[in-house]
Each structure stands twice: as C-alpha cells, then as structure tokens.
Amino acid sequence: MNKLDVLALLVAELESVVSVPVHTGTGEDRDLPAVALAKWDTTRTHDGGHRNYAGPTFDEEGDVNGAEFHIYHDMTALVVVLSDDEVESHELLAAIEEHFNFLEDTPGDLHADVRQLEVASGGQHDLQFAPPVPTFGQTVRLELKFLNRLTRTLPELGEDVLLNIENDIHLT
C-alpha cells in the first residue's frame, strides 16, 4: 500500500460515511456541502530500527522466487467539512469522527496494512472555492501508520541477494 493507495482508501471510506461529495482539495464549481482531504503529509519511518528485508517470497511450488521488503510510513491527513450551514457541518464532522474512532482499536479493519489510526483535533486549512463561498469549515486530523510491501523477483535481486535470502531461511 503506497501513499496514493492510502488516499484512495480514505476517500472511499469517507464516501461510505457521508452522503456529500468527497474531494482531494478544491476547484471551481464545487457544490456545498462537501468533504475534502485538504492536505496530507507522509513521512517514512523506521519502526524501531526495522530492517526493510522481511523475508523470501515463494512461488506455487514452494520455491523461493524473490524477496519482500517492508517500508513503514506515517501519514497525517486533514479532513475538512465544508458547508454553508453550521449545524450540517457539525453533523457531518461528528459522523466522520465517530466512524474513524471505532477504527482506532482495529485499524486493520480499514486495511490489513494500516498499523495504527488516531483521530486528532483538526488543524488549519486554506481551502478556497472559486468563486468564493462563505462556509463553515470543520476539521479533523487522521494520523495513520501504514506498511508499503515491496517485492522483488530473483532476476531483479541478483545472485548475491539470493545467497543472503537462502542464508536467512532457518528451517525448524
């Protein structure tokens, strides 16, 4: 799961919660009310000194055919509810917060590669519609840790990596 996969996942999840359009950013001629992923930031992390190499991959016959690498990331996404009705804005935000609060204890329910999810108080946004529309902008921040699984086949890895993979396999 890469950054674009996570963004698509968040948009799909938001669409399942609210009955208004969900966007990434803003543009012209957007109807209100709307929900937008206003901004996001992804940082690569080393999960406790984690090595990237996760282990060998196998083909259907059980033979080693490559290697899997795990790359961990932290992502913060700012969700903004835009509405020209203050009550509606608060109701939409409450539905989003409730939905993601339930997922905090089981982030794998969102996706198997989501390791952690926290709902935090919102932040500042600079979303502007063209033409300008007076709106109530309620925000919530979603903080995620996710795993990006990369695989390489033996031809991509080269002979020396193949020997390291074979040495890392300990049969018990």
Domain count, the chain: 1
List, for residues 97-121, the tens digit of each pLDDT value. Answer: 999 999 999 999 999 999 999 998 8
Cα–Cα distance for residue pair 14/116, rounded to 1 Å: 18
152 is a domain residue: no
59 is a domain residue: no
User: Whose CA is closest to 100, among 67, 142, 131, 132?
Assistant: 142
The predicted pLDDT at position 166 comes to 54
84 is a domain residue: yes
36: pLDDT strictly greater than 90? no
Write down the pTM of the prediction: 0.78
Higher pLDDT, 40 or 30: 40
Cα–Cα distance for residue pair 9/14, rounded to 1 Å: 9
Q: Is the separation of the CB atoms in 128 and 64 below 8 Å?
A: no
153 is a domain residue: no
165 is a domain residue: no
Which structural domain, as residue segments, surrounds residue 15?
Answer: 3-48+70-146
49: pLDDT strictly greater than 80? no
Q: Is the separation of the CB atoms in 11 and 4 below 8 Å?
A: no
33 is a domain residue: yes
Task: Give the CATH number for residue 86.
Answer: 3.30.2000
